């Protein structure tokens, strides 16, 4: 059995003595549906009516001990992201308790890596937007993610991304695409929660370049080539595919027509450049890189002229 000795979720001591009664152990579980046990004979031990709550699809805290661990706010939010499509909901009294935890500053004690771990797992669930909806309902959203309004374009893009992909990294990029001052906002969030570089990079590229990507067929050859270079598509094709998936979700929230295959075809048309003749002409280093870009521009301009 665990008991709280100081703020935060690390402030516990554990009592593993056999003297700790099973009912006392179950009392300190987070939710009633997790506070059930079974004897060797198959008899259900359910002192806190977890079976009834399970049948009614209610996520309810077992006791006031729930408030001793702020991670439980994140966990119950993630549970709803997983089970909302089955009709589960959080008991009103549990939401009230969660609000009191936020008001008392318990969420301020959350460790960055744990917040990110729960967020990443929530992004992979059936309804990831429910994770943020729960945080908003208990007043934790503004504390943990102040730049993510529950009714904002980022949340709409997250919802749109859900049927497109199950990859958390793409859903995350769609979620952050509409942040004000995107570069500073993405980097600040990444630093705060020690978000992995690949998540950070895709989110930043999406925030900075999605509008250009949505307008790609209307761009000049020079603008289009600069977009491709900004996205580093010639070296990072798989990441470019993730970027296009995020843009597809964003486009659907704006009522915009977007053709990711067109941009991918465009990229492949100009990707391959035979550099041996250029090297033979004496190009090397940065001059060679500039010449390759020039040759790509010529191929791109010719291709665009042919399809216009």
Looking up residue 29, the CATH number of its domain turns out to be 1.10.110.30
> In this structure, are residues 180 and 149 in contact, taking their beta carbons and an 8 Å threshold?
no
Which of the two residues, 247 and 305, has the higher pLDDT score? 247
Judgement on whether residues 52 and 117 belong to the same structural domain of the protein: yes
Judgement on whether residues 37 and 159 belong to the same structural domain of the protein: no
Which of the two residues, 1 and 169, has the higher pLDDT score? 169
Instruction: Quote the domain boundaries for residue 169.
Output: 150-271
Judgement on whether residues 156 and 140 belong to the same structural domain of the protein: no
State the residue for tokens 């919802």.
159
User: How many structural domains comprise the chain?
Assistant: 2
Please identify, among 112, 146, 180, the residue that sits at the C-terminal boundary of a domain: 146
Q: Please indicate, yes or no, if residue 232 is contained in any of the structural domains.
A: yes
Grade residue 282 by pLDDT with cuts at 50, 70 and 90. Answer: confident
Q: What is the pLDDT of residue 219?
A: 94
Q: Please indicate, yes or no, if residue 122 is contained in any of the structural domains.
A: yes
Report the percentage of the chain scoring pLDDT > 70.
93
Q: Is the pLDDT of residue 13 over 70?
A: no
Grade residue 127 by pLDDT with cuts at 50, 70 and 90. Answer: very high
Mean pLDDT of the chain: 91
**Cross-strand partners of 138:** none
Grade residue 284 by pLDDT with cuts at 50, 70 and 90. Answer: confident
Q: Is the pLDDT of residue 6 over 70?
A: no
Judgement on whether residues 134 and 165 belong to the same structural domain of the protein: no
Q: Please indicate, yes or no, if residue 281 is contained in any of the structural domains.
A: no
Span 30-47, average pLDDT: 90
Q: What is the pLDDT of residue 20?
A: 55
Judgement on whether residues 115 and 171 belong to the same structural domain of the protein: no
Q: How far lies 118's CA from each of 10, 125, 174, in Å?
A: 16, 11, 18
Judgement on whether residues 32 and 167 belong to the same structural domain of the protein: no
Judgement on whether residues 124 and 176 belong to the same structural domain of the protein: no
Report the percentage of the chain scoring pLDDT > 90.
71
Judgement on whether residues 225 and 172 belong to the same structural domain of the protein: yes
Q: Please indicate, yes or no, if residue 70 is contained in any of the structural domains.
A: yes
Judgement on whether residues 158 and 267 belong to the same structural domain of the protein: yes
**Cross-strand partners of 288:** none
Judgement on whether residues 213 and 247 belong to the same structural domain of the protein: yes
Q: What is the dihedral of CA 81, 86, 87, 88, to 10 degrees?
A: -50
Q: Please indicate, yes or no, if residue 287 is contained in any of the structural domains.
A: no
Please identify, among 111, 128, 146, the residue that sits at the C-terminal boundary of a domain: 146
Q: What is the pLDDT of residue 10?
A: 53
CA distance linking residue 97 with residue 228, whole number of Å: 50
Judgement on whether residues 157 and 141 belong to the same structural domain of the protein: no
Judgement on whether residues 139 and 154 belong to the same structural domain of the protein: no
Q: Please indicate, yes or no, if residue 294 is contained in any of the structural domains.
A: no
Q: Please indicate, yes or no, if residue 224 is contained in any of the structural domains.
A: yes
Q: Is the pLDDT of residue 7 over 70?
A: no
Q: Where are the beta strands (DSSP E) in 227-306?
A: none
């Amino acid at each position: 059995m665990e008991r709280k000795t100081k703020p935060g979720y690390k402030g516990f001591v554990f009592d593993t003595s056999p003297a700790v009664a099973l009912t006392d152990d179950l009392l300190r579980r987070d939710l009633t549906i997790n506070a059930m046990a079974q004897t060797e004979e198959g008899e259900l031990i359910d002192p806190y009516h977890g079976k009834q709550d399970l049948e009614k699809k209610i996520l309810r805290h077992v006791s006031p001990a729930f408030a001793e661990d702020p991670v439980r706010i994140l966990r119950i939010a993630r549970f709803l992201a997983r089970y909302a499509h089955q009709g589960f909901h959080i008991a009103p009294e549990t939401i009230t308790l969660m609000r009191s935890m936020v008001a008392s500053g318990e969420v301020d004690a959350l460790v960055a890596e744990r917040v990110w771990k729960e967020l990443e797992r929530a992004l992979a669930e059936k309804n990831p937007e429910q994770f943020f909806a729960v945080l908003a309902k208990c007043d934790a959203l503004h504390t943990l993610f102040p730049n993510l309004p529950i009714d904002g374009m980022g949340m709409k893009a997250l919802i749109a991304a859900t049927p497109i992909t199950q990859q958390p990294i793409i859903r995350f990029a769609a979620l952050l695409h509409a942040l004000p001052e995107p570069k500073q906002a993405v980097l600040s969030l990444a630093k705060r929660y020690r978000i992995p570089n690949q998540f950070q990079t895709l989110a930043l590229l999406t925030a900075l370049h999605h509008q250009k990507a949505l307008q790609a067929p209307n761009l000049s050859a020079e603008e289009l080539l600069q977009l491709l270079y900004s996205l580093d598509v010639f070296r990072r094709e798989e990441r470019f595919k993730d970027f296009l998936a995020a843009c597809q979700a964003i486009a659907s929230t704006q009522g915009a027509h977007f053709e990711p295959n067109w941009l991918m075809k465009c990229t492949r048309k100009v990707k391959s450049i035979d550099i041996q003749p250029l090297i033979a002409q004496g190009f090397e280093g940065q001059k060679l890189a500039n010449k390759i870009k020039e040759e790509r521009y010529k191929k791109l301009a010719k291709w665009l002229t042919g399809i216009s």
